[in-house]
Amino acid sequence: MQAVQAATDAYFARSGSKQSAVVSRAGSRKAPGRPLPLPTSGTALLGVLEFIRKSALRNEDFKLAHHAKEMGESLTAREETRRLHSISERHDTEQLGVQEAHMMQAMEFNSAWSTNMTEFEKQAQVIEEQVKQRHGEEFAAFQQQLAEQAPRTYKFSRELLQLRKSIDTLAKQGKYDQAHELKIKARQLEQWERMKLENDLQMHKASKELQLRQQQEIQLEALRRRIQRGREEHKEHWLLGAARLMQSHRNMLSDLKTKQNLENVRADVAVKLDLAASRAGAACSRSKGRFADAKPRVDTRRSPGKLPPVY
């Protein structure tokens, strides 16, 4: 392991002076608008270990190649675990974000419906108060109408009228005692008939007022039933909207979990392939870095018209 570390340090010390030139030349050759991907420290170290392993194999230093291979496998396992853990944390963060968004949406939904129901109750109360006020005005006007329609005089019975006539006749005949007795009797009968007529009038007035009150109560109950139906319809709409919102939230969360489960299934292979590609790319870049300053063997100064002979 110390030999691998020494070889790694020597490699970085040997290639450190060449890296700036290689990066500058690569930056001048890259296409505009397409930055080169920067490998992570783990993948860069994997590339170094792969380069050391291949160099050791070429030099038949199998012990160094074995240590480089073990370190590469251990680092690969740690890198795979780190990436899988990062994917799991990202999935948890995504689910938490979706759940928080759903909670905020549910709170906004409940707040909107609460405001809607409050406005509905206010309007219902205003309408009911207006109906009650109109009923009171109608009842007062009806009482005034009944008072104006009340008879100014009483219609007495035929018996009372006959007694009064008899009293006048007896008084003319000088029979004052009999006239006085009849007068007392007529006065009592008149009082009784006045009381009876007054009671009949009051009963008639009360009956008319009761009929109006009953009609107004029926109208008020009908209004209250309509308000209750509207309240129940609002509640049904709220429950339906809440059920749809919850179902939408469940569908979104289920789709997210399905996508994440599929990503988890593919993550193991994808991470291994990604690490292999990154390791190969890092090793390739290290190999190119060694020969970055090598000059071409073909003489580019030769004239195009004078080709070398072909044997």
**Of 175 and 292, the one with more pLDDT:** 175
Query: Residue 82 above 50 pLDDT?
Result: yes
pLDDT of residue 292: 45
Question: Which alpha helices (DSSP H) does the chain contain, by range?
Answer: 2-29, 41-58, 62-149, 158-173, 176-290
8 Å CB contact between 68 and 52: yes
**Full-model pTM:** 0.51
**Of 224 and 178, the one with more pLDDT:** 224
8 Å CB contact between 45 and 68: no
Query: Residue 96 above 70 pLDDT?
Result: yes
CB count within 10 Å of CB 216 equals: 17
Let me know the angle formed at the C-alpha of 140 by 137 and 145, rounded to the nearest 5 degrees. 125
CA distances from 95 to 55, 72, 98, 257 (A): 47, 34, 5, 8
